[in-house]
Amino acid sequence: MAYGLQVPTINGTMDVTSLSVLRMVHRSRRTVAAGSTSFGAGFLANAIVVGIPNDGKMPPQITVSVVDGAVQWSAPSYFSDVASSDFDLTVFRIG
């Protein structure tokens, strides 16, 4: 047990050293319902890209290309009338 720290999980308690962590490596505010950006090749390897709404609406649908670092987002077709056009595009690295 590392440093004596354990956390409760649905599978019982686990040592903190055995848990994966997410580290935020990028965050930028986007104010359009559809668009794209590029982070460069390899930046999105072992990463999760999410859209966190600032306006209480539905987050965008996000498509990621890990090879070239491209990210595209658009309003989900099933909730296009309540899709967010004000959200934080956030990248978390899994570590």
- Judged against a pLDDT cut of 90, whether residue 42 lies above it is answered with no
Q: What percent of the chain has pLDDT over 70?
A: 87
Q: What is the pLDDT of residue 91?
A: 93
Conformation bin of residue 8: beta by default, left when phi > 0, alpha when psi is -120 to 50: beta
- Model confidence at 2: pLDDT above 50: no
User: Phi and psi dihedrals of 40, rounded to 5?
Assistant: 100, 150
Average pLDDT value for the chain: 86
- pTM value is 0.76
* Collapsed DSSP state (helix, strand, coil) of residue 67: coil
As a whole number, mean pLDDT of residues 11-18 equals 74
The strand order across the sheet containing 61-65 reads 35-38, 70-74, 61-65
**pLDDT tens per residue across span 49-65:** 999 999 999 999 999 99
